[in-house]
Each structure stands twice: as structure tokens, then as C-alpha cells.
Amino acid sequence: MNREDLMAAVKEQMPERRWQHTLGVMATSVMLAERFGGDAVKADMAAILHDYCKYWPIHEQAKIIRENDLPQDLLAFDKELWHSHAGAFIAKSQFGIDDEEILDAIRYHTSGREGMTLLDKIVCLADYMEPGRDFPGVEHIRELAKTSLERALVAGFDSTINFLISKGKRIYPLTIGTRNDLLEQIQQTT
Ligand SMILES: Nc1ncnc2c1ncn2[C@@H]1O[C@H](COP(=O)(O)OP(=O)(O)O)[C@@H](O)[C@H]1O
């Protein structure tokens, strides 16, 4: 499937405002790839598909996780974490995307992971800071992103972790590990 057809297929899966968000993540991923020496073509492809399953019925997302070789521990945590893994699964099985770098960037765009690749960082950060995002602290993230993917991502994960704490929700531990790992990377370069 060519890029235009793929974009049309993605647009059909979501309400207009989420499609606008996807366009924002695409543009921001390409911009960050150019800024930090990443692969802009792969960043664009991962961004197009990253929220493919976001509006799928939650039982369908759970079914994909349950019935395939995906992390079962996700099912005990916030449902918002599921669409990323379901999306990577569909990108491969339905659209034939077999580039593991692209699939990982889709898979880990919400939780992050320890040892995030450059592409993982680009797509995850673009999801936090695309132009349509408007939450307290987003300007600070955009400012940090001018010079450091890692510092900007830590600020992004901090906002998510603080949000979850304020709601009394559980935190998927991989995100804590991700934040620790990013802080270590920052420390090593200063
Ligand atoms: N580590 C985590 N543990 C639990 N829930 C999380 C974690 N990371 C993200 N989330 C949930 O996912 C949401 C963000 O998911 P995301 O795919 O970025 O959605 P959106 O694009 O709508 O912001 C957070 O608001 C939070 O509810």
C-alpha cells in the first residue's frame, strides 16, 4: 500500500481531531528526525500508524494482546497503553510493515522502554509536543526539544507520571525504567 492509501486507511479509523493530531505527529517526527539525525522516512511511517488502534473497541485491543505474543502484563494497567502494542501488531499483520525499528517506535510510543532507539525517542516525543498539544508544561518540553531529545522526553514522562499520581492511578513500571534510563543517558553526556 502506498503512503497516500495508508494515510487514508488511518484517517478512517479515528475522529477528525485525532487525525489532525496524527498529522501533527508526522510533521513533528520528521522535524525531530532532521534535527537529531534520525531517519525521516521511517519517522514519518511510524507516526502515520502510531494511533491506528486508538479508537478501536477496547475489547478488540485486549483480544489482540491476549491472543498474540504481546506483553500480557499490559492488561493489568491503563487501557491507554494497549493501542500502541495493538497498533504495531496490525501494522505488521495488516499492512505488511516488517521494519522492526518502525514497529518498535509504534509499540513503545506511549510507555517508552529502556534503551529507546533514536526513532523510538523521536516518535514518542513528537506525540507529546506536536503543535496541537496543549497541556501545562508542553511549552517547556518544546523548548527542551530544541537541544535534547532525552531532556524533553523526561519532562514528557514526568508530566504523565504526575498526572497518573494526581488521579491515584497505577504506573506501568516500564515507564519508570525508561525515565531512569534517560536520566542516566543525560548524566553521561554532562
Ligand atoms: N506508564 C504508564 N502507566 C499507566 N498509564 C500510562 C502510562 N503511560 C501513559 N499512560 C496513560 O496513557 C495516556 C497517554 O497515552 P497516549 O497514547 O499518549 O494518549 P494521548 O495521545 O491521548 O495523549 C496517559 O494520559 C495515561 O493515562
State pTM to two decimals.
0.97
Instruction: Tell me, in angstroms, the distance from the centre of ligand 1 to residue 110's CA.
Output: 6
- Ligand 1 within 6 A of CB of 185: no
The complex scores an ipTM of 0.94
Q: For position 116, which CATH number holds?
A: 1.10.3210.10
Instruction: Tell me, in angstroms, the distance from the centre of ligand 1 to residue 163's CA.
Output: 9
Instruction: Tell me, in angstroms, the distance from the centre of ligand 1 to residue 157's CA.
Output: 9
Q: Are 130 and 28 in contact (CB under 8 A)?
A: yes
Element (H, E) at 63: helix 58-67
Structural domain boundaries enclosing 162? 3-188
Report phi then psi at 114, rounded to 5: -70, 140
Number of domains forming the structure of the chain:
1
Q: Are 52 and 87 in contact (CB under 8 A)?
A: yes
Q: Are 19 and 11 in contact (CB under 8 A)?
A: yes
- Ligand 1 within 6 A of CB of 160: yes
- The Cα 19–Cα 48 span in angstroms is 9
Q: How confident is the prediction for the chain on average, in pLDDT?
A: 97
143-177 pLDDT, tens digit per residue, is: 999 999 999 999 999 999 999 999 999 999 999 99
3-34 pLDDT, tens digit per residue, is: 999 999 999 999 999 999 999 999 999 999 99
- The Cα 87–Cα 66 span in angstroms is 14
SS3 40: helix
